[in-house]
Amino acid sequence: MARHPGPAQLRSIEGAFSDADRDVRATALTLVASIDAERGRGMALKALDDSDGVVRAAAIRVLGPPQDQGLLARVTSLASLDPVWQVRRAALEAIAGADVETVRAAYEQGIVDANREVRHASLAGGASYPGLLSTGALARVLKEDADWENRVLAAEILGASSDPEAYAFLDEAVLDPHEFVRAEATRARQALLRSGVPRPTPPPAPPASPAPDTTKRKPGV
């Protein structure tokens, strides 16, 4: 094929977008977008309704960060509701730079996704955009995520959070069974301290109970 496909060759590639094979459709979409961005965008918008998740994921990557509220809402919905993990991951990657309040729920759902790659995409978004994931959600990752790399990333985000509440969860993470998680939790606590984030003041100890009266009393007194 020519280095710069002409109109006839471009139409031929577009024709492959109706192929029964999902990989052919996804490849056709990606190729057209690399040649003609506007034409590829139009194809990608249609491909969001493709029956196969691999093609839907390719469409999200072609579209990139949503530029209007309608598309943002659509892609955010796919991040949470699409049954195919590749689509959920691609959607989370695409919406990472959007308004935090608009997409936070999708990310906090993503970090408890059944698929490790989707959870990692949510955490990667949280690492790139401070405030996207709450301290409580990150604490849940540290306690419950079976993947040590995800726990490392959660500790890293807490270390940059400027949240005094992060100390308690990092204190627990330094006892993690994986050495890399322990090391990152230690580093994250030091980062909080260097940033001047104060440790929360521990609650006052409850008053001591009065000692029992051991004085013997005479009968009848």
Q: Collapsing DSSP states into helix, strand and coil, what is residue 171?
A: helix
Average pLDDT over all residues of the chain: 91
Is pLDDT of 212 > 80? no
Is pLDDT of 128 > 60? yes
pTM: 0.83
pLDDT confidence band for 92 (50 / 70 / 90): very high
Q: How far apart are CA 214 and CA 210, in angstroms?
A: 12
Cα dihedral value 126, 128, 129, 131, nearest 10: 40
pLDDT confidence band for 170 (50 / 70 / 90): very high
pLDDT (0 to 100) of residue 2: 45
Per residue in 134-155, pLDDT (tens digit) is 999 999 999 999 999 999 999 9
Among the residue ranges 55-59, 122-126, 210-214, the one predicted with the least confidence is 210-214
Q: How many CA atoms lie within 13 A of 175 on its CB side?
A: 5
Q: How far apart are CA 139 and CA 150, in angstroms?
A: 12
CATH, domain 134-198, list 3.50.50.60, 1.25.10.10, 3.40.50.1970, 3.30.470.20: 1.25.10.10
